[in-house]
Structure 1
Amino acid sequence: MTRVKKMEQILHQTLVSAASQLEQQLDNQINQLDNLDSDDLNALRNQRLNELKEINKKKQEWLNCGHGQYSELCDEKEFFEVSKKSPNIVVHFYRDSTERCKIVDKHLQILSKKHIEAKFCKVNAEKSPFLTQRLRIKVIPTIALIKDNKTKDYIVGFDDLGGRDDFSTEMMEWRIAQSGAIEYNGDLLTPPDKARKQNLLQQQKKTIRGRRYDSDDSDIDFDD
């Protein structure tokens, strides 16, 4: 037996073993569900209800702290008050004369309503020099991403967003999520704009391939 065939055989055996173990795990889970009595089902139902109540309670606490909206903080004092109440903060340092700050405002306004687990706010860098210096803000716009009173990350300008002004809100969401400041169900390793282009290319290839097959089929003469 050659070395390549031996490796293929080992790989095949490994895959078969892994599939067998997975099947056994699924069978065990199914058996556990089949063996549940009414008391077990009630316990699971109550557990789920308690989890939902806890989630709703937490959401209400966030809303009471001003989450769910994109607001401007008047001064450093208000920022430190927010820090005491909100463990996750997305704060945009802006300047009125910087046009790109308006682009950031548009996207954060949308995301603030979607991700109520974080406090979205903005600070006028010129009116808050102490805070700007403390957080080492040098480029406008800059978004500071704060978690548990610690600055985890910065989004400086638009370089991390594709280096262009017309980036998508999904792109901003993906970049913020990398800090852990918001919950994210997508792929943190692949920017959404790139993933969208890849899906579009795949669809175009399928369409072209389908048209080629249609063209070939039309040449068949059924009269023979």
Structure 2
Amino acid sequence: MEHLLENQLLNAAQTIEKQLDQQLDRLDNLDSDDLKAIRDQRIREMKDLNNKKQEWIRNGHGTYTELANEKEFFEVSKKSPNIVCHFYKDSTERCRIVDMHLKIIAGKHVEAKFCKVNAEKSPFLTQRLRIKVIPTIALVKDSKTRDFIVGFTDLGNCDDFSTEMLEWRIAQSGAIDYKGDLMQPPDVKRKPYINRPQKTIRSGYDSDDSDIDLDD
């Protein structure tokens, strides 16, 4: 049995080595036309990305803004494929912590629209998304809510989580491009947030039912 396993590992290593050799040979044999084609393709990709960034900025990406009403939220969802929306209440202190972090993250990720909605002034939208805990961040991709960050539980259950921690958690939904390790949260040891219950505004939230179509 051990001999069979050794042969399997050896064969796998030889296959990988052969594939690497083939890739190196292909690169060594590229002529000037091949290199030009690769360069031209890369230039096109960079131009396309720049055009996308310009469109995102025109749609208000790169800043963290408040939406006036529910109608504006649905308008934004038609223009921006990726949305990070904070549902807040003026009376909730922890919402100001979320605001502080989202302002920073918004400037780093122009590929997503960062915004906030007053949950008390948007009862239809709040109920439709089954939001009952404040703060809640809805993560929207391609006009569908893919995920929710409910309170601070996923952020170490503390108030002093880092901006990087929230950025990492948002990236779990695919709403932003993330260069780090999605399997490893950046915050390791934080003091738990205790003895202060979550404030609720709606009942009926179901965290498993998050794929809600926002297209009207």
TM-score (norm 1): 0.81
Alignment of 1:66-77 (within 5 A): 66-77=60-71
Alignment of 1:179-194 (within 5 A): 179-194=173-188
Task: Report the CA distance between 1:32 and its aligned residue.
Answer: 1.0
The reply to whether residue 175 of structure 1 matches residue 169 of structure 2 is yes
Which of residues 117, 130, 133 is equivalent to 2:127?
Answer: 133
The reply to whether residue 41 of structure 1 matches residue 44 of structure 2 is no
Task: Report the CA distance between 1:126 and its aligned residue.
Answer: 1.5
Letter in 1 for 2:61: H
Task: Report the CA distance between 1:130 and its aligned residue.
Answer: 1.7
Task: Report the CA distance between 1:168 and its aligned residue.
Answer: 1.0
Higher helix content, 1 or 2: 1
Residues of 2 paired with 1:168 and 1:12: CA distance?
Answer: 46
Between the two structures, name the one with larger relative contact order (CA 8 Å, sep ≥ 6). Answer: 2
Alignment of 1:28-177 (within 5 A): 28-177=22-171
Residues of 1 paired with 2:132 and 2:162: CA distance?
Answer: 24
Task: Report the CA distance between 1:188 and its aligned residue.
Answer: 2.3
Residues of 1 paired with 2:30 and 2:149: CA distance?
Answer: 50
Residues of 2 paired with 1:48 and 1:188: CA distance?
Answer: 26
Consecutive unaligned residues in structure 2, runs of 5 or more: 191-216
Other-structure match for 2:196: none
Other-structure match for 1:205: none
Same amino acid, percent of matched pairs:
70
Residues of 1 paired with 2:9 and 2:108: CA distance?
Answer: 41
**Displaced runs of 4+ in structure 1, greater than 4 A?**
none
Q: Secondary structure at the match of 1:144?
A: strand
Task: Report the CA distance between 1:189 and its aligned residue.
Answer: 2.6
Letter in 2 for 1:111: I
Other-structure match for 1:209: none
Task: Report the CA distance between 1:153 and its aligned residue.
Answer: 1.1
Q: Secondary structure at the match of 1:51?
A: helix
Residues of 2 paired with 1:149 and 1:44: CA distance?
Answer: 34
Q: Secondary structure at the match of 1:31?
A: helix
RMSD between aligned residues: 1.5
Q: Secondary structure at the match of 1:166?
A: coil
Q: Secondary structure at the match of 1:126?
A: helix
Task: Report the CA distance between 1:41 and its aligned residue.
Answer: 1.1
Q: Secondary structure at the match of 2:76?
A: helix
Task: Report the CA distance between 1:28 and its aligned residue.
Answer: 0.9
Q: Secondary structure at the match of 2:159?
A: coil
Letter in 2 for 1:180: G
Letter in 2 for 1:98: T
The reply to whether residue 10 of structure 1 matches residue 4 of structure 2 is yes
Residues paired across the two proteins, number: 190
Residues of 2 paired with 1:181 and 1:57: CA distance?
Answer: 19
Task: Report the CA distance between 1:93 and its aligned residue.
Answer: 0.6
Q: Secondary structure at the match of 1:97?
A: coil
